[in-house]
Amino acid sequence: MSENCIFCKIARGELPSRKVYEDDEIVAFHDIRPAAPVHFLIVPKRHVASLQDVTAADIPLLGRMLALAPQLALEQGCRPGPEGGFRVMINNGVDGGQEVPHLHLHVLGGPRPWQRG
């Protein structure tokens, strides 16, 4: 973990968050500036700066993060099936809109319309 990274501090329990999931490798919590009725982040506890920094060794972790997205989306209120759904987004680097330099998945959903972003 990184000493000054805000997501590492959340993962260590040093900063408050509205957690929706936690295990030994992953933490998920509500976004502080939601862009949709359902908006949470899935974050690896181990500090990885961005998607550009993952290696082949990270494939199992990334798979677990993606596999958690539909389960947690339903638990947080997204509707299942073709009429429902959710969006998964990874911002990568400054030009890609990444605001916190720690890899994370945004999961957004809920009844539309909601802000585009």
pLDDT of residue 117 exceeding 60, the answer is no
Residue tagged active-site, from 30, 39, 102, 104: 104
**Residue 114 binned pLDDT confidence (cut-offs 50, 70, 90):** confident
pTM: predicted TM-score of the whole model, two decimal places: 0.93
CB 46 within 8 A of CB 25: yes
> Hey, where are the domains in the chain?
6-109
- Give tens-digit pLDDT for 88-113: 999 999 999 999 999 999 999 998 77
Return the CA Rg of the chain: 14
Annotation marks residue 104 as catalytic: yes
Kindly state the DSSP code that residue 7 receives in the 8-state scheme: H
The mean pLDDT value for 40-57 works out to: 97
- Give tens-digit pLDDT for 9-45: 999 999 999 999 999 999 999 999 999 999 999 999 9
In the CATH hierarchy, which fold is given to the domain comprising 6-109?
HIT family, subunit A (3.30.428)
Helices of type H across the chain: 6-11, 59-75
